[in-house]
Structure 1
Amino acid sequence: MTTLQTRPAVPATIRPRIVARTGLYALLAANAAVVAWFFVQAGFASNALIVLGRLCGLYGALLMAFQLLLVARLPWLDRRIGMDRLTSWHRWTGFGVLWTLLTHAVFITFGYAQASSMGPVNQLVNLAETTEGVLRAVVALSLIVVIGAVSARWARRRLAYETWHFIHLYTYVAVVLAFTHQVAAGTTFTSSSTAKTYWYTVWGVALGAVLLGRLVLPLWRNLRHQLRVEAVVPESDDVVSVYVTGRDLDRLPARAGQFFLWRFLTRDRWWQANPFSLSAAPDGRTLRLTVKAVGAGSAGLRHLAPGTRVFAEGPYGAFTTLHRTRPDAVLIAGGVGVTPIRALLEDLAGHAVVIYRVAADRDAVLHDELRDLALAKGAELHLVTGPVVPDRLAPGELARMVPDIADRDVFLCGPPGMMTAVLRSLGDLDVPGRQVHFERFSLAG
């Protein structure tokens, strides 16, 4: 039997995700303390409502800058935390921005109304007409309210991603308007040059991170690597593999388990960016993605011509061996979720058990490759077929196939329903959460 030479398994002693998460929390806490200090140094206003309103406005601005950092797609953070988790934090931070800025607007309006004996509505109109930057703040808050409304779960389920994304882009308009309001009317800007420098730095870093991660880095990588379609290979009636080649791919920092946002630059596809995982470990010469036709866009990949230019953003994702904690692993795949699992098997050291869940044998994409790779690496492969009910990945079945599953890392990828069921089974089997690795495709605007 032929065996592949693999690196010795070296589980992480310090979890990269914890390091990155702790760093983000510490960064936010330190800046919150600095904001409070500058606020106190600026002095207090005539009544409590105005004081609280100004403080809420400052923390709303800080959260807005932090929200930009979370969605900047910076490689160091993305590889350690994952785009799905960063996007989730971005979403909840966004609701924090919405409520702190609404509170800011209400407290400021009622505070000044109390001091002037005007009604709240008249006071707001008066502020907008007489105070520089307030009208821009009203427009910014209105945009944030609309964006918050369409980001609620009930609205997201009813909106096409493209529609939601287009509306979400107005966040950047709101950011610029809010910043100019802060420059014009913020007490910390007018009372302290040090505080002014601090806020310019905060906004410069946040906007610079977005510019770097979302524009500069993707453009630079694509200009450097000059990606093109090398071949399109049918794997079944509704699944194809696309091989992409380019220059200096050995210098592209892609790892097995990661994904790219792929744009195939044809006349009818250049504007579509789709997240597809690598289905083979990067070898420095080609990148491979394997896609199941679930719509017109993915079905059209079968007709790509060799030589088609490709614009790829990434690599993204924390679903890699960087997060290993144990010498041995279990890889659980469902349907076309086998693509990153197949790539991970190629990259993993130590003993591995692969469990591939499909409805029928004919749905087992890349099964022959998995079988050959498992044989070469001395891994176990279980093909589990049958209907969803009864659950064939229930705790008892998993324990039967992998008796020592609680002592292994578990990498999981598949349809949402299957992943939820498997995560529940892993909990019933007392598999520690730090040993369970999964990632859901989740994109923010």
Structure 2
Amino acid sequence: MTTSTWEAPPVAPTAQPRPTRTVSGVLPTLWLGVVAVLAFWWAGTTAATGTTPGGALMSLGELSGLLASYLVCAQLLLIGRVPWFERGIGFDRLVAWHRSLGTSVVLLVLTHVVLMIVGGSLLDGLSVWSEVPSVLATQPYLWPALIGTVLFLAVGVSSARLARQHLSYEVWFAVHLSIYVGIFLAFAHQVAGGTHFVGSPVARGLWILLYAGTAAALLTWRVVLPLMSHRRYAMRVSAVVPEADGLASVWVHGRGLTRLEARGGQFFLVRFLTPGHRATAHPYSLSMAPTDDHLRFTVGALGDHSSAVTDLRPGTRVQVEGPFGHFTADQARSDRVLLVAGGAGIGPVRALAEELLDQGRQVVVLHRAHDAAGLALAAEFTPSPSLTYLPVPGRRAHLGHDPLAPQHLRWLVPDIASRDVFVCGPPAMADAVARSARALGVPRSAIHREEIDS
């Protein structure tokens, strides 16, 4: 497999229309659901409930349990590949919201447990320590809830930053999957003994519909459609090409791949169907514009999974989900664009540059690397009247300065203030470029970033 280069046509850049900014309805919809849960809890709570401290605490415990149950459904839908959600706010923000909701759910579950135990002990006239075995003995449907709570806590602890640093992705993922068991057990406990459901078939039916709808969405967009896509596109690895230290390109052959409607700068969740890769899918960005029969992903060796892609054999079957991401050419407002890449970020920048040049824009690519050996895909940036390639290898300690500091960035790209700035690379680098661009007069709305760990 040979690597292709491209050169922009020698035409003058033309101004492009400003991208349309759509207002997402995802967040208002989530808040509307919270309001609906509050109204449901209020309507099903009798006035006598709050007349005693124990009753009031248990009622608040029921509310926290209902909110946790609703939010865990919302949390699953956010990463359920539902197209409306992804188009509304983008996959990266969905993942961030998913993590934030995860913390809220765990805290609400703990609040629910504590309030129900303390409130029950006050009503029963027992100590807190005696209340637990008492209710477990008299209300057997609480045993599944107890197991579910333990699973929620296990997932929450494993997702903490400190724990993630000491767990392999595969172990973390296995623990994470247990949340589905915890959700089922918590759901069963609610519909079997929840105060708001026992005497109301309508309420129980609506709650079942919420969970059934969530399960149907997950099965549709995370299982059925990916399997159908896998069969339709028949993708297989055709070659693995080393590009630089710690970077390799995986070429994937298929049929009718333009129907995926992928854009330069976007990424797919890629699963290689071979031992060591089959269990998990990882986000890999396109590093060239897709053709009808080929995709290319340039992957950095960032962990066990990505490091092992160099061992993939031609013919390995590939399953993808996507494309995802808004790091695309239609975000640019100017006909002059600066692209800054570092590490594995050169892949999406290369693909994005290709699309921007095809649109007739004037592009500068600034490529950072620790050394010259790390300048992957450099040979593909053929200089032209519309493309300027600026390789900047070397660590700051060796260079004696930070090439991304405002004064040096302005020296490299004197007209940066008139350009859209796209940066893709490690978080620290993206932060540095964004700060320098702002200091040099680039509007915040003209700075677009995609973070990839180094």
Matched, 1:416 2:427: yes
2:227 pairs with 215, 219, 225, which one? 219
2:4 is matched with which residue? none
Kept in 1: contact 2:344–2:452 (CA 8 A): no
1:319 pairs with 322, 327, 336, which one? 327
Kept in 2: contact 1:278–1:288 (CA 8 A): yes
Residues in 2 aligned to 1:159 and 1:130: alpha-carbon distance in whole angstroms = 39
Q: Provide the secondary structure at the position in 2 that maps to 1:91.
A: helix
2:204 is matched with which residue? 196
Change in 2 beyond 3 A, CA 1:54/1:233: closer
2:91 is matched with which residue? 83
1:436 is matched with which residue? 447
1:362 is matched with which residue? 373
Kept in 1: contact 2:364–2:389 (CA 8 A): yes
Kept in 2: contact 1:256–1:347 (CA 8 A): yes
Matched, 1:10 2:17: yes
1:375 is matched with which residue? 384
2:3 is matched with which residue? none
Kept in 1: contact 2:26–2:88 (CA 8 A): no
Kept in 1: contact 2:289–2:351 (CA 8 A): yes
Kept in 2: contact 1:82–1:319 (CA 8 A): no
Residues in 2 aligned to 1:306 and 1:280: alpha-carbon distance in whole angstroms = 19
2:341 is matched with which residue? 333
Q: CA deviation at 1:434?
A: 3.0
Residues in 2 aligned to 1:60 and 1:295: alpha-carbon distance in whole angstroms = 33
Residues in 1 aligned to 2:136 and 2:307: alpha-carbon distance in whole angstroms = 52
Q: CA deviation at 1:266?
A: 3.9
Residues in 2 aligned to 1:351 and 1:301: alpha-carbon distance in whole angstroms = 34
Residues in 2 aligned to 1:351 and 1:203: alpha-carbon distance in whole angstroms = 50
1:134-213 to structure 2, matched below 5 A, reads 134-213=142-221
1:291 pairs with 295, 299, 313, which one? 299
Letter of the aligned partner of 2:26 in structure 1? Answer: L
Residues in 2 aligned to 1:436 and 1:292: alpha-carbon distance in whole angstroms = 24
1:43 is matched with which residue? 45
Change in 2 beyond 3 A, CA 1:440/1:130: farther
Residues in 2 aligned to 1:311 and 1:362: alpha-carbon distance in whole angstroms = 31
1:29 is matched with which residue? 31
Q: Which moved more, 1:34-43 or 1:164-173?
A: 34-43
Kept in 1: contact 2:300–2:343 (CA 8 A): no
Q: CA deviation at 1:279?
A: 0.6
Letter of the aligned partner of 1:91 in structure 2? Answer: R
Kept in 2: contact 1:13–1:325 (CA 8 A): no
Q: CA deviation at 1:268?
A: 5.5
Change in 2 beyond 3 A, CA 1:121/1:430: farther
Change in 2 beyond 3 A, CA 1:190/1:414: same
Once the two structures are superposed, residues 76-127 of structure 1 have per-residue CA deviations (whole angstroms, 9 ceiling, x without a partner) of 4335533332222111111111111211111111112111211122222222
2:437 is matched with which residue? 426
Change in 2 beyond 3 A, CA 1:237/1:335: closer
Q: Provide the secondary structure at the position in 1 that maps to 2:396.
A: coil
- The TM-score normalised by the length of structure 2 is 0.87
Residues in 1 aligned to 2:211 and 2:448: alpha-carbon distance in whole angstroms = 34
Matched, 1:395 2:406: yes
Letter of the aligned partner of 1:149 in structure 2? Answer: V
Q: CA deviation at 1:235?
A: 3.5
Q: Which moved more, 1:322-331 or 1:352-361?
A: 322-331
Change in 2 beyond 3 A, CA 1:133/1:402: farther
Residues in 2 aligned to 1:260 and 1:237: alpha-carbon distance in whole angstroms = 23
Kept in 2: contact 1:236–1:365 (CA 8 A): yes
- The TM-score normalised by the length of structure 1 is 0.88
Q: Provide the secondary structure at the position in 2 that maps to 1:375.
A: coil
Kept in 2: contact 1:80–1:318 (CA 8 A): no
Q: How much identity, in percent, do the aligned residues show?
A: 40
Change in 2 beyond 3 A, CA 1:126/1:433: farther
Residues in 2 aligned to 1:60 and 1:300: alpha-carbon distance in whole angstroms = 38
Letter of the aligned partner of 1:94 in structure 2? Answer: G
Kept in 1: contact 2:345–2:452 (CA 8 A): no
Once the two structures are superposed, residues 24-80 of structure 1 have per-residue CA deviations (whole angstroms, 9 ceiling, x without a partner) of 221111111111221121123252112211111111111111111112123443355
Letter of the aligned partner of 2:180 in structure 1? Answer: Y
Change in 2 beyond 3 A, CA 1:2/1:421: closer
Change in 2 beyond 3 A, CA 1:237/1:89: closer
Q: Which moved more, 1:189-198 or 1:149-158?
A: 189-198
Change in 2 beyond 3 A, CA 1:42/1:257: same
Q: Provide the secondary structure at the position in 2 that maps to 1:281.
A: coil
Letter of the aligned partner of 1:142 in structure 2? Answer: V
Kept in 2: contact 1:132–1:184 (CA 8 A): no
Kept in 2: contact 1:70–1:89 (CA 8 A): yes
Q: CA deviation at 1:338?
A: 0.5
Q: Provide the secondary structure at the position in 2 that maps to 1:357.
A: strand
Kept in 1: contact 2:75–2:102 (CA 8 A): yes
1:272-311 to structure 2, matched below 5 A, reads 273-293=281-301, 298=306, 300-302=308-310, 304-311=312-319
Once the two structures are superposed, residues 338-383 of structure 1 have per-residue CA deviations (whole angstroms, 9 ceiling, x without a partner) of 110000011123332211112333321111212x2x527x133222
Letter of the aligned partner of 2:186 in structure 1? Answer: A
Q: Provide the secondary structure at the position in 2 that maps to 1:157.
A: helix
1:115-130 to structure 2, matched below 5 A, reads 115-130=123-138
Matched, 1:114 2:122: yes
Q: CA deviation at 1:238?
A: 5.5
Residues in 1 aligned to 2:168 and 2:244: alpha-carbon distance in whole angstroms = 29
Residues in 1 aligned to 2:200 and 2:87: alpha-carbon distance in whole angstroms = 38
Matched, 1:250 2:258: yes
Kept in 1: contact 2:430–2:451 (CA 8 A): no
Change in 2 beyond 3 A, CA 1:409/1:191: farther
